[in-house]
Amino acid sequence: MILVILESPYAGDVERNLAYVRECMRWALLHGMAPIASHALYTQPGVLDDNDPEERSLGIAAGLEWRRVANHTVFCARYGWSRGMRAGLASAKAECWPYVVIHGDEP
């Protein structure tokens, strides 16, 4: 299995977006990937508050640390590109980090 970072929308319709990230994790697993979706983990009750700018920044920084061990990022774009996804894409491009987009196109 290859290690991948999953990025998908979180804010807005949180219930729909969490269902979608679960679908994306399943897709990745069935395609030989071992995914991490930090935005779905770190926003669980009692972990980090996505509405608190400092905690949101901490979560984003922690998620990006997974690049130390992951092979690439998978952007799941069925519901568009969130602010965090756009930042992740800009960072991937700036660092020549490999990525793919599924269920949509690049912004």
For residue 26, the tally of other CB atoms under 10 A from its CB is 11
Domain extent at residue 20: 16-50+67-80+102-107
Query: What pLDDT does 73 receive?
Result: 97
Query: What pLDDT does 103 receive?
Result: 94
**Distance (Å, rounded) from C-alpha 12 to C-alpha 15?**
9
72 in a domain, yes or no?
Answer: yes
Confidence of residue 93 (pLDDT cuts 50, 70, 90): very high
30 in a domain, yes or no?
Answer: yes
33 in a domain, yes or no?
Answer: yes
pTM: 0.90
22 in a domain, yes or no?
Answer: yes
Which residues touch 31 (CB under 8 Å, ≥6 apart)?
Answer: none
8 in a domain, yes or no?
Answer: no
Give whole-number Cα distances, 55 to 39, 42, 73, in Å. Answer: 12, 10, 22
Closest CA to 8 of 19, 27, 21: 21
Query: What pLDDT does 27 receive?
Result: 97
Task: Let me know how long the chain is.
Answer: 107
Domain count, the chain: 1
**Distance (Å, rounded) from C-alpha 23 to C-alpha 94?**
28
44 in a domain, yes or no?
Answer: yes
**In this predicted model, what pLDDT tens digit does every residue of 21-79 receive, in sequence order?**
999 999 999 999 999 999 999 999 999 998 999 999 999 889 889 999 999 999 999 99
